[in-house]
Structure 1
Amino acid sequence: MFKSIPLAATLILSSSSAIASVASPDWGTCVANLQQTAKSEGLSQQTIDTTLANVRYVARVIELDNKQPEFSSSFESYFTKRVTDWRVQQGRKLYIKHKELLQSLAKEYGVPPQYLLAFWGLETNFGSYKGKMSVLNSLATLACDPRRSQYFTTELMQALKLKEQYGFDEKKMVGSWAGAMGHTQFMPSAYAKYAVDGDGDGKADLWNSTDDALSSAAHFLQNLGWKRDERWGREVTLPKNFSYAYLGRAEAQTLTKWAELGLTLTNGRALSTPDMTAALYLPSGHTGPAFLGYDNFNVIMKWNRSTFYAIAVGHLADRINGAAGLNVKPPKMPSLSRARVKELQNQLNTLGFDVGKPDGILGSKSLKGLQAFQKDNGLVADGYPSEVTFKALGVK
């Protein structure tokens, strides 16, 4: 799973040749290169001299980039911290408060109120915490880090353009460690492309206007492909002796196929089988809850490339809309460090189960390789790196 730059992590980067990777580890050299890039991107000399020339390196940003919760937390830890009774109740209260706006947005963009509220709740606790880090310092720091330099260089240039366009004070341009901004944590490229003026004051202000932020979120989701009148997915029950042959987005099946394989609703009733496809996700392995993710699940993943995040958004939306909690509670599991997952990947490759270059992230190729190893060794082939599987692989 990749996380994750909140919002717009999958936007196509600028094709401009001026957006180049900053490879030098020297901060001064890097900032000088960024200034040249800014000049070639048409930014004013005043912005370059008074703003970009004064950015500061923030070591904490790199530390947080390497410790994202979707990389290390167990699903139980991640989910229970985010889908809380308080957020459910607060979401319901805010639906009443913003009912007219939310219903208008649903009509215009096709995104039901509960989803907009769920994104808002997960991103900034309904606007109560929008981040305190300098967006420009964070983006400059990440632009000068070789891991994703090109992406963050593009975002930094766009943030500077937004500053010029709207007259934002750089001291008030605060957000997450990754440079995400406002109530719904838009990256600068998403801000530029999808932010709308929801309150009619002539400016799209995602920090200070709830109307602007919710309207922009609905506009963004519509453009990502949100399907009107379809849900995100749902928790399901697997039959006994399930083969786990089809797991993850790459193995999506029709709902008719899932029904034939014995999946049911959590109340035991049969799945409805409209002409839709869905992928099966087991974020805690076979001992935890099982979920089918529909097309709108994939849209949520475009907002944030984390299955944990997508499930949390979907379920929080359901709860805000009156649904009960999960039928199967996520089991407590130890956290997975990237170093340990990388060791697991190395061992799988050594044993002939090709999972690609070890990166410490459990993507689809790692899932398939792990499933093959589990099957060959008489383990439940759910693709989940349980302690039993670690032990069988000889990974401590």
Structure 2
Amino acid sequence: MFSPLAPRGGIAALCASLLLCLSSLFAPAAAADDEDFLKWVREFRKTAIAEGISPEIYDRAFEGITSPDQWVLDKASYQPEFKAPVWQYFDNRVTEGAVKRGRARKKELQPWLDRIERRFGVNPNILLAIWSVESSYGAILESDTVMRNVIRSLATLAYADPRRAKFGRQQLLAALEILQSGDIDKSHLTGSWAGAMGHTQFIPTSYQAYAVDIDGDGRRDIWNSVPDALATAASLLSKNGWRRGETWGYEVTIPERKLPAGELTLAEWRDKWGVKRVGGKSFPRPNDMAELKLPAGRNGPAFLMLKNFFVIKRYNNSDRYATAVGLLADRIGGGSGLVHDWERPFTPVDSGQVEEMQKILKSKGLYKGAIDGKAGSGTRGAIREFEKRIGVEVQGYPSEEVLDQLRRHR
């Protein structure tokens, strides 16, 4: 920045001239990028109007949006270096903190949960577990770095991400329809980089298919009304075949011999193949069909999964996701957890201890993330840097051993 008192000749003038040339060189490229996007917005306006979106709604939705969101594109192009080990996936979701918060929210919301269960038949513990896994009981909705303008995010994908352009266009039209319905206004239409919205993280087309106004205020508001959000999750499960009064699966023990793939009745698994429910418990409905799942192989926990497990997968088509929801739901409901735990290459810690680790790592300048008790990539990276610093084997595990070292090296 030049002072108004600086001399106009010599080196100062030359520097000013160079800066002017550089700015003129680079400015058109940035403007062109924005203009290309704005041209796309103008063209897509015709598509939206043809699909029934009013010109006023469209113009209001895009007011102030003049460029794609680079953060969204960065998220869309991110490729994890490795798939998280099974134990890590569950340790970050089925935590003591999530159980404690789930039980507290259950007491607080019991009348609404009872009402939702009467209408949709879905176990309230399952809904609380989904809420926890999807948005940490709504905590992520308070994060400006996670929740973005849904219209801009989806327009970014439709305009600039060839792999997701079709998805982006479809979801953008649905988001515009949501605005037009009056369920939410533009300022509150926020979501993840891919447009997942509200407490229970529904993409716009799923919102349209399943959203419920159970609190009776005339709006299906999954952003601000927890009852609406939980009822919407229940609506999805119910419409996809949830079986009222039934569980999702059972932890079992398995024999050494090779076991068949596919579905058998619980009685067949027990009597013909020697698969037993843990703790000597019986199967309440032995004629139910079930499929054997071994998320960590033969050395980890084993489960016989029932119909409701596969219904949970309609929320997120992942065995790990559905299992985590089921396990967390059982804990919220008073269950004691797994009999045969995941095998880990270290002594595990609970979420409170992870929070302690994060605080110490942050005090050392090694960790910049949230103090949330979840050992994600940021926490593990900070642990690796700490291990390098003190000269021990670098593993990055959130373990009792590392916590002891952190306490000694405060």
TM-score normalised by the chain length of structure 2: 0.68
Query: What's 1:327 paired with?
Result: 339
Query: What's 2:220 paired with?
Result: 204
Superposition map of 1:185-200 within 5 A: 185-200=201-216
Residues in 2 aligned to 1:65 and 1:292: alpha-carbon distance in whole angstroms: 35
Rg larger in structure: 2
Query: Secondary structure of 1:267's match?
Result: helix
Could you give the per-residue CA deviations for residues 220-276 of structure 1, whole angstroms, max 9, x where no partner exists?
A: 2211211101101122111123x1441xxxx22222232121111122455555322
Q: Higher RCO, 1 or 2 (CA under 8 Å, sep at least 6)? A: 1
Residues in 1 aligned to 2:253 and 2:77: alpha-carbon distance in whole angstroms: 35
Query: Secondary structure of 2:92's match?
Result: helix
Residues in 1 aligned to 2:182 and 2:153: alpha-carbon distance in whole angstroms: 20
| Shift of residue 322, structure 1, vs aligned partner | 0.8
| Shift of residue 67, structure 1, vs aligned partner | 4.6
In structure 1, runs of 5+ residues without a counterpart are 1-25, 334-396
Change beyond 3 A, Cα 1:65–1:77? farther
Please tell me whether the aligned partners of residues 188 and 223 of structure 2 are also in contact (alpha carbons under 8 angstroms). no
Superposition map of 1:204-223 within 5 A: 204-223=220-239
Query: What's 2:193 paired with?
Result: 177
| Shift of residue 172, structure 1, vs aligned partner | 2.2
Please tell me whether the aligned partners of residues 266 and 283 of structure 2 are also in contact (alpha carbons under 8 angstroms). yes
Query: What's 2:277 paired with?
Result: 265
Amino acid in the other structure paired with 1:134: N
The percent identity for this pair of structures is: 41
Residues in 1 aligned to 2:273 and 2:284: alpha-carbon distance in whole angstroms: 13
1:227 is the counterpart of 2:243? yes
Query: What's 1:386 paired with?
Result: none
1:86 is the counterpart of 2:102? no
Superposition map of 1:143-182 within 5 A: 143-144=158-159, 145-166=161-182, 168-182=184-198
Alignment RMSD (CA, Å) = 2.4
Query: Secondary structure of 2:250's match?
Result: strand
Query: What's 1:138 paired with?
Result: 153
Q: Structure 2 residue aligned with 1:120, among 109, 112, 131? A: 131
Please tell me whether the aligned partners of residues 184 and 219 of structure 2 are also in contact (alpha carbons under 8 angstroms). no
1:108 is the counterpart of 2:114? no
Amino acid in the other structure paired with 1:325: G
TM-score normalised by the chain length of structure 1: 0.70
Query: What's 2:398 paired with?
Result: none
Residues in 2 aligned to 1:33 and 1:278: alpha-carbon distance in whole angstroms: 51
Q: Structure 2 residue aligned with 1:313, among 325, 329, 336? A: 325
Change beyond 3 A, Cα 1:216–1:300? same
Please tell me whether the aligned partners of residues 255 and 272 of structure 1 are also in contact (alpha carbons under 8 angstroms). no
Amino acid in the other structure paired with 1:301: K
Query: Secondary structure of 1:82's match?
Result: coil
| Shift of residue 68, structure 1, vs aligned partner | 7.6
| Shift of residue 115, structure 1, vs aligned partner | 1.0
Please tell me whether the aligned partners of residues 183 and 221 of structure 2 are also in contact (alpha carbons under 8 angstroms). no
Please tell me whether the aligned partners of residues 35 and 52 of structure 1 are also in contact (alpha carbons under 8 angstroms). no
Query: What's 2:88 paired with?
Result: 77
Query: What's 2:71 paired with?
Result: 60
Query: What's 2:53 paired with?
Result: 43
Query: What's 1:354 paired with?
Result: none
Please tell me whether the aligned partners of residues 74 and 332 of structure 1 are also in contact (alpha carbons under 8 angstroms). no
| Shift of residue 44, structure 1, vs aligned partner | 1.4
Residues in 2 aligned to 1:104 and 1:167: alpha-carbon distance in whole angstroms: 22
Residues in 1 aligned to 2:215 and 2:274: alpha-carbon distance in whole angstroms: 49
Residues in 2 aligned to 1:27 and 1:257: alpha-carbon distance in whole angstroms: 60
In structure 2, runs of 5+ residues without a counterpart are 1-35, 346-410
Residues in 2 aligned to 1:266 and 1:201: alpha-carbon distance in whole angstroms: 46
Change beyond 3 A, Cα 1:99–1:168? closer
| Shift of residue 91, structure 1, vs aligned partner | 1.0
Residues in 2 aligned to 1:104 and 1:70: alpha-carbon distance in whole angstroms: 44
Residues in 2 aligned to 1:279 and 1:69: alpha-carbon distance in whole angstroms: 30
Change beyond 3 A, Cα 1:273–1:35? same
